[in-house]
Structure formats: C-alpha cells, structure tokens
Structure 1
Amino acid sequence: MLLIDTLSNKIEQLEEQINSCCGNGLRQGNNTPPPMNENNLTTKSKDVLYQNKPNPYNERTSIDYQIESEFSNALIMIFNLQGTLLKSFPITTTGKGNIFINNGEFKSGMYLYSLIINDVEIDTKRMIVSD
C-alpha cells in the first residue's frame, strides 16, 4: 500500500508540474504540454482520449482517441514520471483513431500520456507496463 500511495503522490506532483511549467504553448526546447485553462481551451468536449487497453499491459496496448474539432496540430505524447517526453505520435485526421504500443518500447513502470490539440492539453491518462 505504501508503494501505491507514494506513486499516486508522485503522479499528482508530476501532473501539477506539467500543467504549471509551460506557459501558453509548447516552447522550443521544452516538450511538456501547456496547462489547460478556460482562456486557452479552443477545442470542444467531443475530443476524447480513452484509457489504454489493456492496462496494465505486457505485450501490446492500444490508445484510442476521438477528435471532432478542427485542428492545425494534434498529437499524443508519452511521458515518464519525471516528466520527460519519451515519444510522441502525430495525429493527422479528425474522427476516431488509435495508436499501438508494443512490448519493449518502454520499460516496466508507470507512464503518463496526453492528447494535445492546437497546443492545448485535452486529457492525460496513466499507463502501466508490466513484466
């Protein structure tokens, strides 16, 4: 239980850091997503990031999303718990879509992934990679 509490607290701290460190957009050289607030929220609530399935996973997982808003740029970004960007997946079309992550792309552990549309963080979820 202590490990779970510690990890949950660390995740909350990292989410706060991600949301507070970035100003009004992705800065050059800084790959963390911008904070989401009412002033820069330009997408509709129809844009959705779903929980990866299965979670936890050890062979392959799928991250589904749906984007109904017009956008100039969209991507899914994957971070470790230290807030370091590990991988990003560009999204080029509206509608439903998904990305797949295979065994071996990430070490065992917990990761955060975010849907970013027009430099706005829509949602962030947790993903667990198991042995």
Structure 2
Amino acid sequence: MTDVLSRIETIENCACDATLSVGGNTQPRQKSPKLYQNIPNPFSSTSTIKYYLPHDINNASIIFTDGVGKVISKIALEDLGEAELNINSDRLPVGVYHYPLIVNNVKVDSKRMIIK
C-alpha cells in the first residue's frame, strides 16, 4: 500500500507541472497551443478565456473581432503553460464576437463569444 501511495504522489507531482514521467523520460502532456471557450458564454460583464502555450512559443496573441471582422482589440500573451485572460465587456455593444489565437503569425484556433 505504501508503494502505491508513493507512486500516486509521484504522478500527481508530475501532472501539476504538465509533465508525466514514464520510465525516466519526462514528456509534456500538451504539445501544441490550445484555446478554450470563454466562461461564462454568453456574458454581460466579465468572462474568462483559458489557453495553453508550450514553453517554446515566443509570439502569441488573441485578437478580438466583431461580427463583421473589425478588430476590436489585440492582446499579446506572455504567460506560457496553462493561463487565462479575464475580459470585460465595458464599452462593447451586445453581439457576437470572435477571438482567434494567433501563434507565430498563424491562426491556431478561433472561438465565438456572445455579449448579452
């Protein structure tokens, strides 16, 4: 039983660093950038967008556009690994907005948010 608990503790410690050690090899769990849906959605005041950027990324941003593609805002992302961006809907009219994740000048993913 002590051996099992020790192994579980080792796995939990590795998982918190986004790595998993198997046979002495440490490998990242997530290898590519990831953009998550904002929560809550729809929203009327504030919302949170989670994302993941591998540690070898040096140029990433989220660009907010309105329903016709007009750029509202561009936010440079500097936090690597699992991170989040808190957004506020002040001064934005009710509507549908898009927010693509751009990494090294390439669109990785895009999500849609609704301000009500």
TM-score calculated relative to the size of structure 2: 0.69
Q: Verify the 8 A CA contact 1:46 1:69 in the aligned structure 2.
A: no
Select 1:90's aligned residue among 76, 81, 90.
76
Runs of 4+ in 1 over 6 A off after TM superposition: none
1:52 aligns with 2:74: no
Select 2:104's aligned residue among 118, 121, 126.
118
Q: Which amino acid aligns with 1:123?
A: D
Look up the match of 2:95.
Answer: 109
Q: Distance in 1 between matches of 2:110 and 2:91?
A: 19
Q: Distance in 1 between matches of 2:71 and 2:89?
A: 18
CA deviation string 1:20-73 (max 9, x = no partner): xxxxxxxxxxxxxxxxxxxxxxxx863110000000001210011001152231
Select 2:62's aligned residue among 68, 76, 80.
76
Q: Identity of paired residues, percent? A: 32
Q: Distance in 1 between matches of 2:89 and 2:102?
A: 24
- Tell me the CA shift for residue 118 of structure 1: 0.3
Aligned residue pair count? 87
Q: Which amino acid aligns with 2:95?
A: G
Residue segments in structure 2 that go unaligned for 5+ positions in a row:
1-29
